[in-house]
């Protein structure tokens, strides 16, 4: 097992080396620049079409609502990454990893926007009367390269066992054991049973459950985090100083390169950002494509909001809680770093909240990733029999994930994430002119509508 762990770790470090980091940041920067920094200068339109349109969001027979789609996508990404993934980034990459999470998230907003936009553009109406789409359909219909779509689908299926089932159950089991003394195997068995009951309802049931659980647990987590942050408000400026200084710490430079500290901070910061937001992976666009929304740009703007809320808001809060409480230096068991930080300030009550929160976040993530993988299986085989086989294997992996070694699980997740990212980023790059054209048309439409409003007010 030790040899296998070392092998996986080395492969993970290879995949998340300079090439992958440069590709993810490079594509994100490229899209950001040529859309005129859309995530900054169109923030009013983004807010209007996302959280400002929730009340008007309607369901229909041919898909789920936009809010359900983004809730499902958030359910697939909010979870152990926000609570425990930030902790692993801090331990392995230092406080500077948080800075690189921010950088990756900023450009990741436009990556998510692009992949969601393309997935809605090239989606199809399935035999069940529901929309289905994702990068595999983009590669087939947009690039006329179905084989690449199948490669992506295979990587997505493999990734579902890492980011989708094992890491989520593992973290939930640790949290519930710490908070309530529940044995890990009990958590695994319960999650397996409940998961089986829910997942047979398909995307509509997943969306309905996600839109209820995700907002409630996110708000609860935010309120507790804010309480701790304001309690330690005096040291928060020092926390930010430490993050920025550590991000560019060249003291440990090696052989004229970037230096180990900077390299580790970048590597773990960006890889954890991708794990948390899934920007560039192409996974959550599978959920977005199931939305009944007609506007490609509007659903793409939900992607921007998704990355901002998930990484910039939630992950930053987790990082500030850990650093401001001194948990990074005081906690000996790094696997329980986040729980140590919360319990230090709030007491045993926080263990209960984090235990329940991690379990619910992890469960919704597990549901979403099962749906992503099932859509990939349907794309490859066109046969529902293979979906049933996959569900059985997936449920078994949930049980295994609850009791296996944490370090191995995280490294495997990073490996599968990188493998998914490559074909997806290639598709975004090749189809970027279409992204720019659609975005430009949307901007012109906004300007025309603004002029009409001004004229109407003048005439009035």
Architecture of domain 2-449: Up-down Bundle (1.20)
Residue 220: is its pLDDT beyond 90?
Answer: no
Residue 29: is its pLDDT beyond 70?
Answer: yes
**H-helix segments, 78-164:** 80, 86-93, 96-121, 135-137, 146-159
Instruction: Give the sign of the dihedral formed by CA 383, CA 389, CA 392, CA 397.
Output: negative
Helices 406-430 and 167-180, packing angle to 10 deg: 140
Residue 336: is its pLDDT beyond 50?
Answer: yes
Poorest-confidence range of 41-45, 264-268, 437-441? 264-268
- Strands (DSSP E) along 195-308, which ranges? none
CB 395 within 8 A of CB 193: no
CA distances from 186 to 154, 169, 177 (A): 31, 11, 10
pLDDT at 208: 67
pLDDT at 428: 96
Residue 210: is its pLDDT beyond 70?
Answer: no
Residue 42: is its pLDDT beyond 70?
Answer: yes
How sure is the predictor about 58, in pLDDT bands with cuts at 50, 70 and 90?
low
Per-residue pLDDT reduced to its tens digit, 272-316: 787 678 888 898 899 889 888 888 999 999 999 989 988 899 899
Mean per-residue pLDDT, 251-273: 58
How sure is the predictor about 260, in pLDDT bands with cuts at 50, 70 and 90?
very low
Residue 253: is its pLDDT beyond 60?
Answer: no
Residue 73: is its pLDDT beyond 70?
Answer: no
The whole-angstrom distance between residue 385's C-alpha and the CA centroid of its chain comes to 29
Residue 82: is its pLDDT beyond 80?
Answer: no
pLDDT at 197: 76
The whole-angstrom distance between residue 133's C-alpha and the CA centroid of its chain comes to 18
Residue 203: is its pLDDT beyond 60?
Answer: no
Token match 């593992």: residue?
170
More confident residue, 419 or 215: 419
Residue 132: is its pLDDT beyond 80?
Answer: yes
Per-residue pLDDT reduced to its tens digit, 339-383: 889 988 888 777 777 777 777 777 778 888 888 999 999 999 877
Residue 251: is its pLDDT beyond 50?
Answer: no
Cα 351 to Cα 164: distance, rounded to the nearest angstrom: 23
CA distances from 129 to 62, 124, 149, 198, 436 (A): 6, 10, 22, 20, 31
More confident residue, 51 or 309: 309
Residue 254: is its pLDDT beyond 50?
Answer: no
Cα 10 to Cα 3: distance, rounded to the nearest angstrom: 11
pLDDT at 435: 97
Mean pLDDT of the chain: 82
Cα 17 to Cα 23: distance, rounded to the nearest angstrom: 10
pTM of the predicted protein model: 0.84
Mean per-residue pLDDT, 148-155: 94
Please report, rounded to a whole number, the percentage of residues in the chain having pLDDT higher than 70.
Answer: 84
DSSP letter string, 184-204: HHHHHHHHHHHHHHHHTTHHH
- Domain residues of the chain, as ranges? 2-449
Per-residue pLDDT reduced to its tens digit, 154-197: 999 988 888 778 877 887 787 778 777 888 888 888 888 888 77
**H-helix segments, 122-145:** 135-137
More confident residue, 245 or 68: 245
């Amino acid at each position: 097992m030790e040899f296998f762990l070392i092998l996986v770790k080395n492969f993970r470090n290879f995949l998340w080396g300079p090439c992958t980091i440069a590709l993810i940041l490079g594509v994100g920067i490229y899209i950001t620049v040529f859309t005129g920094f859309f995530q900054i200068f169109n923030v009013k339109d983004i807010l209007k079409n996302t959280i400002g349109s929730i009340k008007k969001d309607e369901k229909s027979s041919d898909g789920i609502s936009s809010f359900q789609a983004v809730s499902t996508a958030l359910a697939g990404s909010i979870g152990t990454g926000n609570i425990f993934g930030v902790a692993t980034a801090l331990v392995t990459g230092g406080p500077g990893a948080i800075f690189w999470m921010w950088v990756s998230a900023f450009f990741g907003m436009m990556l998510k926007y692009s992949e969601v936009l393309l997935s809605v553009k090239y989606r199809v109406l399935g035999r069940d009367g529901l929309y289905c789409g994702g990068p595999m359909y983009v590669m087939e219909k947009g690039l006329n390269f179905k084989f690449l779509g199948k490669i992506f689908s295979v990587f997505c299926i493999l990734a579902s066992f890492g980011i989708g089932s094992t890491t989520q159950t593992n973290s939930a089991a640790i949290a519930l054991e710490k908070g309530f003394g529940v044995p890990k195997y009990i958590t695994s068995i319960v999650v397996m049973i409940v998961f089986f009951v829910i997942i047979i309802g398909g995307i509509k049931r997943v969306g309905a459950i996600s839109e209820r659980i995700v907002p409630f647990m996110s708000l609860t987590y935010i309120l507790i985090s804010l309480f701790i942050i304001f309690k330690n408000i005096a040291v928060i400026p020092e926390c930010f100083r430490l993050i920025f200084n550590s991000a560019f710490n060249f003291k440990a430079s090696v052989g004229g390169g970037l230096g180990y500290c900077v390299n580790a901070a970048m590597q773990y910061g960006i890889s954890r950002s991708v794990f948390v937001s899934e920007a560039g992976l192409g996974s959550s666009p599978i959920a977005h494509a199931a939305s009944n929304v007609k506007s490609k740009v509007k659903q793409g703007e939900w992607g921007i909001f998704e990355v901002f809320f998930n990484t910039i808001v939630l992950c930053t809060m987790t990082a500030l809680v850990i650093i401001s409480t001194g948990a990074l230096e005081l906690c000996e068991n790094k696997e329980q770093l986040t729980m140590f930080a919360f319990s230090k300030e709030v007491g045993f009550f926080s263990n209960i909240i984090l235990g329940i929160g991690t379990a619910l976040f992890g469960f919704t993530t597990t549901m979403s990733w099962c749906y992503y993988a099932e859509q990939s299986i349907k794309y490859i085989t066109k046969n529902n029999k293979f979906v049933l086989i996959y569900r059985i294997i997936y449920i078994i992996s949930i049980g295994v994930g609850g009791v296996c070694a944490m370090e191995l699980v995280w490294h495997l997740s990073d490996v599968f994430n990188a493998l998914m990212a490559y074909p997806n980023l290639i598709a975004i790059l090749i189809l970027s002119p279409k992204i720019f054209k659609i975005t430009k048309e949307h901007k012109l439409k906004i300007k025309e509508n603004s002029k009409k409003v001004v004229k109407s007010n003048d005439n009035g």
